[in-house]
Structure 1
Amino acid sequence: MPPLFRCLILACMVLADPALASPWPRQVKEIFLALSAERDARGNGYAGLYGEYGLRRRTLGFELGRSRAGETSAMIWLQRPLGRGSGADRWALSLGSGVIERNGIYMPVGQVGAGWGRGFDAVPLLDRIPGGGWLAVEARVKVAGKLRDEAEIAQLAASGAGRLAYLTPETSVKAEVTLGWHATERLMLIGQLRLEDRQDSGFSSRLAASAVRELFGPVKLELGAIGPLSGQGEAAVKLGFWVGF
């Protein structure tokens, strides 16, 4: 069994019941936008705009991004919940397609994802935590056209693994296990285990933690840090702004 799936199964056992915010669909005509930037210790980074729009029984989303490694990406996706939406568990499937550009070359990219979510109120012991929260697991498989040859991969690896992490591989499998807590009315604390198996650099794992605080009206500020556990990657910090209405 590949290391990614062994770690995913272990994470599900440790957290008892998986879940991520994504299995819960947006309300009809509800809009969510997030503008964020990430930068690691070597100066590599990524800036992106993420959005969701609620449709009837579906959520339409998009992602636009630019990495300091010279790659621009755009993707649109559609997510559909599974089942009638009753009970403690929430399930969802998503499909997405887009394009990436690097060195003037454009290639298609496709993505399929699945998520499972459960709120604190349906988890023994966690249901006693004031404020509530959620547990989540989301998995995604992404496939892109070939944009670089073996010589370029070797050059990027020699210049630092962090830069390679901000470029899209031909194939990748990702899984994220998330724990979110509404610490106060204006503050959310989010912890996340990120697992990834890439075609070019193999398996890696990272831990991420962030605080999301309400600023004014629908605007929220996100501050976070990301640390590598195994595989290639560098420590990084994250800054973002959320808007929902």
Structure 2
Amino acid sequence: MDINGSVAIVTGASSGIGAATARALAAEGAKVVLLARRQDRIVKLAAELENAIAIKCDVTNKDQVKSAVEQALQAHGRIDIVVNNAGQALQASIEEINPDDFRDIFELNVVAPLVMMQTVIPHMRTQGGGSFVNISSGIWFHPLSESGAYSATKAAISILTGVAQVDLADTNIAVSLMYPFITETELVDSIKAGRESAERIEAPIAAERQPPELVASKILELIKTGEKQGDLVPKKYGGTYEG
């Protein structure tokens, strides 16, 4: 897909990978629609970009998602790209996972991207094509202590994306999956529960943290090529990244 002149929705655009992706898309000429709950941040980011609008949206709220998509269509008449980036972590042992916390992050990490896809796909069908990029995580490549809940949500979005690729194979709608490695974001700061555990697990590989701009560049590559998946997980951890 040619990004220049396209209309792109980015969820979780207030920081980290979302903000970096929004900047990268805008730099290549996309009209970016920034979605996040922290309105002050996306308003500030929109002001920095060439052609962007900020819409406060809790992507776990179906009505807010529908409204945000309608506003994007009113502003630009089409939606070419959706980057489902919004997400939250949770660290706890299997014995200590709070089921309510698990439901909350499953709603955000899995159900919300599904609802966004369901809301936008009809419009992409009508206009003749589009691109989705769903963000998973390399964390589920190998079981890590106390990461069961978060890893399960990322495994779920990976499977959901794979099925979407099959379901939409006869359309011009590409569905890609991105596996970031440990990234310099606010994920640990905004963790649902288990911050100390997350910091402890990350400590041995902290020096290998990657900038969100690197993830953004890989996301743009997926959009341009329509490839089914990409990752930044180093080979020694089971990925393909050689950087």
Q: TM-score by structure 1 length?
A: 0.33
More relative contact order in 1 or in 2 (CA 8 Å, sep 6+)? 2
Q: Which has the higher helix share?
A: 2
